[in-house]
């Protein structure tokens, strides 16, 4: 190789060496004035000290086993965050529990409505009661986890369970007094029957009046549905004392007693029929509405949603429609 070529190669090497991009790292203050170098050096020392201190802190935390515990005010594992998160979780559990309670109440309401409709249709209820009990037990087990570790929700649940137990005891007491059925009583039993329960619906009837039989039919449907009220009937011909005392002139007449005192009376089918030209054609719900207005029973007119659900389930409640008039010494409404 000629000396000319060697000198050219050496020049190229010298050129690339001078242009090496890593050169500033070897001397980061090259090309700076004295003041600038001093400033950059102070800045560099400050950064190095902070980095060294941070590394020392990490090493100390790691040696003590607390390297994963963050500052309380700045990290998601700090005490402030944990307190806030616990409150949020508690609110979520309460909201979920309330939703489940609402869903369970809606299910129970629909089941009760279905059972009521089956009774109105004359269907048995034993299988339904068994299914309802089983469903209720499974629902309780399924949502028990929502009450875990929450004393407030546990208190709500215990209060609700106590209300259910009190209601069941009251229902058992009423059944022992003859509630839940439509019974025939006699004059000697009238005062005892009417004062032995808070609410009593008493039908004064005549055995030959067909409209009294219509009233009987409706009351037989209503009595098993409303155990809080006692439903009885008494033959007006065999109870002259109370017919005179209560000034009964028209049959059928239905009285509602509260603690032995007359609250209201229904003479004939007054206000029950939608069509005045067809007074014997009315639905059991109309009589339930009248009884509810006296306070004797708790009854609400089915909403549109409930009616649609009944239609979807193929449930068609039945009222009583028949009429035959017959002359008598009594006035048949």
* pLDDT tens-place string over residues 208-221: 999 999 999 999 99
Average of per-residue pLDDT across 265-293? 90
Whole-structure pTM value: 0.49
Q: How far apart are CA 168 and CA 1, in angstroms?
A: 116
In this predicted structure, what is the pLDDT of residue 321?
A: 36
Judged against a pLDDT cut of 90, whether residue 235 lies above it is answered with yes
Helix pair 79-120, 304-312: axis angle to 10 deg: 70
Average of per-residue pLDDT across 255-276? 92
Average of per-residue pLDDT across 275-279? 85
In this predicted structure, what is the pLDDT of residue 325?
A: 38
Helix (H) or strand (E) holding 13: helix 3-18
In this predicted structure, what is the pLDDT of residue 6?
A: 52
CB atoms within 10 A of CB 54: 10
Give the highest mean pLDDT range of 24-28, 34-38, 70-74, 314-318: 34-38
Judged against a pLDDT cut of 60, whether residue 73 lies above it is answered with no
- From residue 193, alpha-carbon distances to 186, 196, 228, 247, 270 in Å are 10, 5, 14, 20, 26
In this predicted structure, what is the pLDDT of residue 267?
A: 94
Beta bridge partners of 329: none
In terms of C-beta density within 10 A (0-12 exposed, 13-18 middle, 19 or more buried), how is residue 233 classed?
buried
In this predicted structure, what is the pLDDT of residue 184?
A: 95
Cβ pair 116, 285 in contact under 8 A = no
Average pLDDT, the chain: 75
pLDDT digit string, tens, across residues 5-18: 555 555 555 544 44
In this predicted structure, what is the pLDDT of residue 40?
A: 77
Burial readout 7-46 (b: 16 or more C-beta within 10 A, e: otherwise): eeeeeeeeeeeeeeeeeeeeeeeeeeeeeeeeeeeeeeee
Stretch among 60-64, 122-126, 173-177, 252-256 having the lowest mean pLDDT: 122-126
Phi-psi label, residue 250: left if phi above 0, alpha if psi -120 to 50, beta otherwise = beta
In this predicted structure, what is the pLDDT of residue 315?
A: 65
């Amino acid at each position: 190789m000629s000396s000319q070529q060697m000198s050219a190669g050496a020049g190229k090497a010298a050129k690339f060496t001078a242009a090496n991009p890593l050169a500033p790292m070897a001397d980061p203050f090259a090309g700076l004035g004295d003041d600038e170098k001093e400033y950059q050096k102070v800045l560099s020392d400050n950064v190095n000290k902070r980095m060294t201190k941070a590394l020392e802190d990490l090493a100390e935390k790691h040696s003590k086993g607390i390297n994963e515990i963050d500052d309380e005010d700045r990290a998601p594992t700090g005490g402030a965050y944990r307190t806030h998160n616990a409150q949020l979780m508690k609110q979520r559990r309460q909201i979920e529990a309330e939703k489940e309670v609402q869903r369970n109440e809606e299910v129970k309401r629909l089941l009760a409505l279905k059972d009521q409709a089956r009774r109105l249709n004359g269907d048995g209820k034993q299988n339904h009661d068994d299914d309802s009990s089983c469903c209720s037990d499974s629902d309780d087990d399924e949502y028990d986890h929502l009450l875990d570790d929450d004393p407030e929700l546990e208190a709500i649940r215990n209060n609700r369970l106590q209300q259910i137990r009190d209601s069941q005891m009251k229902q058992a007491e009423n059944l022992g007094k003859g509630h839940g059925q439509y019974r025939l009583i006699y004059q000697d039993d009238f005062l005892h029957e009417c004062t032995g329960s808070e609410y009593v619906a008493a039908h004064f009837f005549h055995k030959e009046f067909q409209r009294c039989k219509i009233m009987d039919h409706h009351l037989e449907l209503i009595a098993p549905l409303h155990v809080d009220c006692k439903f009885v009937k008494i033959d007006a011909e065999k109870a002259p004392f109370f017919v005179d005392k209560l000034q009964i002139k028209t049959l059928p007449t239905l009285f509602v007693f509260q603690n032995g005192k007359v609250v209201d009376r229904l003479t004939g089918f007054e206000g029950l029929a939608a069509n005045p030209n067809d007074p014997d054609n009315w639905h059991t719900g109309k009589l339930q509405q009248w009884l509810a207005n006296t306070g004797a029973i708790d009854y609400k007119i089915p909403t549109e949603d409930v009616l649609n659900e009944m239609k979807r389930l193929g449930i068609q409640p039945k009222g009583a429609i028949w009429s035959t008039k017959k002359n008598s010494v009594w006035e048949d409404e």
